[in-house]
């Protein structure tokens, strides 16, 4: 398998202020993917990473619905996406919906469920990066439509959509405006804007 660093675009490797784990520096969210199905064993490895993610009281409230390109389920997920996301997601070999269980076994609201889902997706994303698989998380999904389309039972909540595929896609598969975004310089706010030592930042309103 090709080295991850050889598959991703060099301009998308993060220019970090402090040295961090290489897979985290290399990770980004492309909108084009290699025209190759994701291997079954690789999908299994992604969900195994999820399985061993941190979870409050080991409740593991995360749930996923995924589908491969060419299937009816893939079309159903695609049709739940925002118009903007529809403009590029048909490049993805796999589309996925993430969800979480809203209550604990004793019927109490699980305040940490969405946090645990996020942790599980963090684990999946790092494992994917190790395998040369790009993960593009999307908030632009009609979750209510998705709930109906997939008969999600009461007590579970669709949260986001995800596009997955091996790095190495062709920029020409994207509209011109998205081609520019794909190679634009990445940036982040400074640590001082979100990590406050000993007290809340008085400048934060």
Angle between helices 40-51 and 113-130 (to 10 degrees): 140
pLDDT digits (tens, 9 = 90+) for 126-179: 999 999 999 999 999 999 999 999 999 999 999 999 999 999 888 888 888 888
Residues 203 and 188: their CA atoms lie apart, in Å, by: 18
Task: Supply the pTM of this predicted model.
Answer: 0.91
Q: Dmax of the chain from CA atoms?
A: 53
Domains defined along the chain, listed by start: 16-173 (3.40.109.10)
Residues 49 and 93: their CA atoms lie apart, in Å, by: 20
pLDDT digits (tens, 9 = 90+) for 40-89: 999 999 999 999 999 999 999 999 999 999 999 999 999 999 999 999 99
């Amino acid at each position: 398998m090709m080295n991850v660093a050889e598959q991703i675009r060099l301009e998308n490797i993060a220019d970090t202020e402090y040295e961090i784990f290489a897979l985290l520096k290399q990770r980004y969210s492309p909108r084009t993917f290699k025209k190759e199905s994701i291997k079954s064993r690789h999908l299994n490895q992604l969900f195994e990473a999820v399985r061993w993610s941190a979870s409050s009281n080991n409740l593991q409230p995360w749930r996923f619905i995924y589908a491969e390109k060419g299937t009816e389920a893939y079309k159903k997920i695609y049709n739940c996406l925002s118009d903007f996301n529809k403009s590029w997601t048909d490049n993805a070999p796999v589309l996925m919906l993430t969800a979480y269980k809203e209550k604990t076994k004793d019927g109490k609201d699980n305040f940490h469920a969405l946090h645990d889902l996020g942790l599980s997706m963090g684990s999946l994303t790092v494992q994917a990066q190790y395998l040369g698989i790009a993960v593009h998380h999307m908030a632009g999904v009609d979750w209510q439509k998705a709930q109906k389309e997939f008969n999600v039972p009461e007590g579970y909540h669709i949260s986001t959509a995800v596009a997955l595929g091996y790095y190495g896609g062709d920029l020409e598969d994207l509209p011109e405006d998205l081609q520019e975004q794909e190679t634009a310089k990445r940036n982040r706010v400074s640590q001082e804007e979100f990590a406050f030592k000993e007290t809340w930042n008085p400048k934060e309103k």
